[in-house]
Structure 1
Amino acid sequence: MSAEGLAELHRDDWLLAVEKPAGLLSQPGLGMHQQDSVITRLQRNDPDLQLAHRLDRDTSGVLLLARGQDALRRCNALFARRDVHKLYVADVMGVMRGSGVIHAPLARLQRHPPRYGSSGGAFCPDALEGAAATMEFNPFVAGPVHRSFPSAALPSG
């Protein structure tokens, strides 16, 4: 755990990877009450750090930070070419029967606070708004054998 309260997962000359907890912004939001964020905490000791990408406030996971402008340019190019493959995993409450795939475009539904969701989904395949998204879901067993944790993975390109 770093002095900023973030678990450092990897550090080299180009990148820093930290574990972002749910509830903490990746970057400052609007207003004084939304200034605490991963980047503001980390830039106190390393002002050259730049976010290579963002995670939503309520999303926990690995956050990559570029260590300098050259590293940021290289990261941006990798994301732009879709050479970076992201995997989102979620614990789902309830009973899942079987597996499947949902194809639904995602779009910003609300600006303040930002909220995203399906802009049409499978019921509106010709929706012009929103980015294409595919969610594959498969139940799997984790932990002790008697506990089953259905999970959904959202691969994005």
Structure 2
Amino acid sequence: MSSARRERVPSLDAGSRLDVFLARREPGESRSRLARLIGAGGVCVNGRVVPASHRVRDGDEIEWRLPITWIEPTGGPIAESIPLRILHQDSAIIVIDKASGMVVHPAPGHNTGTLVNALVALDPGLRIGDEAWPGIVHRLDRGTSGVIVIARHDRALRNLQAQFAARGVAKRYVALVQGVPRHATATIDAPIGRDPRDRKRMAVVSNGRPSVTRYTVLERFARTSLVECAPETGRTHQIRVHMASIGHPLVGDGVYGTVDERLDRPFLHAAILTFTHPDTGLPVTFTSPLPDDLRRYLEVARGS
């Protein structure tokens, strides 16, 4: 991998999107490759990871590292050297603060640039569980940032899978939703399945899988509310679907609500994850603060 590059944003480039700024400095790289690097947390603005849509300012310090090094392992996902924010690692687990924009595992249309690609480069021996998803115990949507735990050996994988299945893992998400929920705290108990009108979406449907989300309103603003969501089950898009089902879709969620030009993803962050360590048997908690894009949006909401 090449050495890091640093550059101050000149006044001429102030106001440009980060991916556009980077493309001007790296003419040999495609925009999609640069966007993938940004989404993986490989580009920092003033020491912080921001989305590709971030507008750079005069004097900002941009730091990045190219090219991404590709390694072909003996089988399974391609190992790809992508920067990761590691909250904790030991012989049993790796805990990552996933950046928004990063897909967790390879899938059609996302064969590279995923968390799994980064993990098999970080730990070449990570070949447990599903060959395509080594070590993966749970997932976060591409647009969701925050804490995710990875198993490093078979016993840890089975232990964590059992904890998730038994609802023994406490997950806390921070979300900004449209409107003000009627109740300060409530439980949404509504089955989720494929939307019969659009198979790419999920929906509350009578024949869906049991799904439970508890939420608490943390702050109320003029047109939005900050809530903490605690899903007791782990369905695809569960929080997004459940909050939309009660008339309060997530801000920035163009699938279950409306697009917000000021935010290029749903306002959803996996802030806290608590589980029993598979080796020590002791409870452990990992936290992640709101990333810059959500923090800035929240500051505007507070001032509205």
TM-score, scaled to structure 1:
0.73
Could you tell me how far apart the structure 2 residues matched to 1:118 and 1:154 are?
A: 18
Deviations 1:95-133, CA, capped at 9 Å, x for gaps: 5565242332222338x98533322xxxxxxx2322222
* Contact 1:108–1:116 (CA under 8 A) maintained in structure 2: yes
In structure 1, the residue matched to 2:209 is: 130
Could you tell me how far apart the structure 1 residues matched to 2:125 and 2:195 are?
A: 33
* Contact 2:213–2:229 (CA under 8 A) maintained in structure 1: no
TM-align CA RMSD: 2.9
Change in Cα spacing, 1:38 to 1:156, as seen in structure 2 (3 Å) is same
Alignment of 1:42-121 (within 5 A): 42-49=119-126, 50-95=135-180, 98-101=183-186, 102-109=188-195, 114-119=200-205
Change in Cα spacing, 1:42 to 1:23, as seen in structure 2 (3 Å) is same
TM-score, scaled to structure 2:
0.41
Could you tell me how far apart the structure 2 residues matched to 1:19 and 1:53 are?
A: 14
Letter aligned with residue 157 of structure 2: L
Deviations 1:48-75, CA, capped at 9 Å, x for gaps: 3311211111211111111122221221
In structure 2, the residue matched to 1:153 is: 229
Deviations 1:31-61, CA, capped at 9 Å, x for gaps: 3x44321011111131333112111112111
SS at match of 2:101: coil
User: Shift of the alpha carbon at 1:91?
Assistant: 2.1
Change in Cα spacing, 1:78 to 1:9, as seen in structure 2 (3 Å) is same
* Contact 1:96–1:150 (CA under 8 A) maintained in structure 2: no
Could you tell me how far apart the structure 2 residues matched to 1:103 and 1:135 are?
A: 9
* Number of aligned positions between the proteins: 142
In structure 2, the residue matched to 1:123 is: none
Larger mean Cα displacement after TM superposition, 7-16 or 130-139: 130-139
SS at match of 2:122: coil
Q: Does 1:40 align with 2:125?
A: no
Q: Does 1:20 align with 2:20?
A: no
Q: Looking at secondary structure, tell me which structure has more strand per residue.
A: 1
Could you tell me how far apart the structure 1 residues matched to 2:153 and 2:125 are?
A: 5
* Contact 2:180–2:225 (CA under 8 A) maintained in structure 1: no
Q: Structure 1: which 5+ runs fail to align?
A: 120-126, 142-147
For the pair shown, the structure with the greater C-alpha radius of gyration is 2
Larger mean Cα displacement after TM superposition, 90-99 or 77-86: 90-99
Could you tell me how far apart the structure 1 residues matched to 2:202 and 2:208 are?
A: 12
Q: Looking at secondary structure, tell me which structure has more helix per residue.
A: 2
SS at match of 1:140: strand
Change in Cα spacing, 1:86 to 1:114, as seen in structure 2 (3 Å) is farther
User: Shift of the alpha carbon at 1:77?
Assistant: 2.0
Q: Structure 2: which 5+ runs fail to align?
A: 1-40, 43-80, 127-134, 234-304
In structure 2, the residue matched to 1:122 is: none
